[in-house]
Amino acid sequence: MQDKIILITGGNDGIGKATAIGLARMGARVVIACRNMEKASQALIDIKKESNNDQVEALHLDLASFDSIKNCVENFNTRYNKLDVLINNAAHYTSYLQKTAEGFEMQFGVNHLGHFLLTNLLLPSLQAAEKPRIVNVSSNGHYSGKIDFNNLRGEKSIKKYYGFEAYAQSKLANVLFTREFTRRYPDMICNSLHPGGVATDIATKNAVGLVSNVWSLVKPFLMSPEKGAQTSIYLAASPKVNKINGQFFDEKQKIRKPSRLARNDELAKRLWDVSMEFIYH
């Protein structure tokens, strides 16, 4: 991975940080894009120390804000003339209704729409690389997901909000985005993945009640972020992926069949078209 430039969203903690360490150990130049720059500063120290690689940088990125995403891309482009690997890793879970700066339901807005905008804005940088790759961190939660085009701003969630339902929708969107991106840009390698059941803080930061309590109980029995990062690292770096495109991988780096809806080309195209309208209007 020498001379490769890699951008990882949410690279200051959990799977993202472990992914950054793993790829930095391979000699890559790693950029972590993070909302909390104080945590990012500490993460830089840790990543450099554990990887023995000083070529690690942090950029501010709030995926819940289109302006922040645009600023992040501008800052990236002033520093680098290409992007070899984009890892859309950051994820948000909440058990109560939250909205992005543009008014979208937070999980759809961050987990899908923010990464959708980021990827599209970074296309010129990706196309400037020799063999660009995009890695979309999804989840097996997508198997329960449906895309409700009439509820992407939380219109139906005012009275009752179902956190996992929204999460599953956003993770399905990750897989559909991967599928449609591959159709539109066949010369790039783009795959999605389930990292496994990983002991991160995703279900406790913005969750209350049963979800938070259950997650706290099972967390000690889940795999480490280091193990959870292995498929992301594999898809970013392995030569075995050179000709594999548009697939969904599991935590063992094996290709798995995604859900029926995730294989629906018409749904993937509709989601792409709607997402384009959202980010450019």
Positions marked active-site: 167
* Contact criterion met (CB below 8 Å) for 180 and 267: no
Question: CB neighbours of 78 closer than 8 A, spacing ≥ 6?
Answer: none
Tokens standing for residue 193 = 């993945």
**Contact (Cβ atoms closer than 8 angstroms) between residue 76 and residue 7:** yes
| Phi, psi of 223, rounded to the nearest 5 degrees | -70, 160
Evaluate whether 97 touches 157 at the Cβ level (below 8 Å).
yes
- Tell me the CA distances in angstroms from 136 to 41, 119, 220, 268, one per residue in order: 24, 10, 26, 15
Q: How many CB atoms lie within 10 A of CB 31?
A: 25
Strands 189-193 and 248-249: parallel
Q: What does the buried/exposed string (b/e) look like for 53-90 if buried means 16 or more CB atoms within 10 Å of the residue's CB?
A: beebbbbebbbbbbebbeebbebbeeebeebbbbbbbb
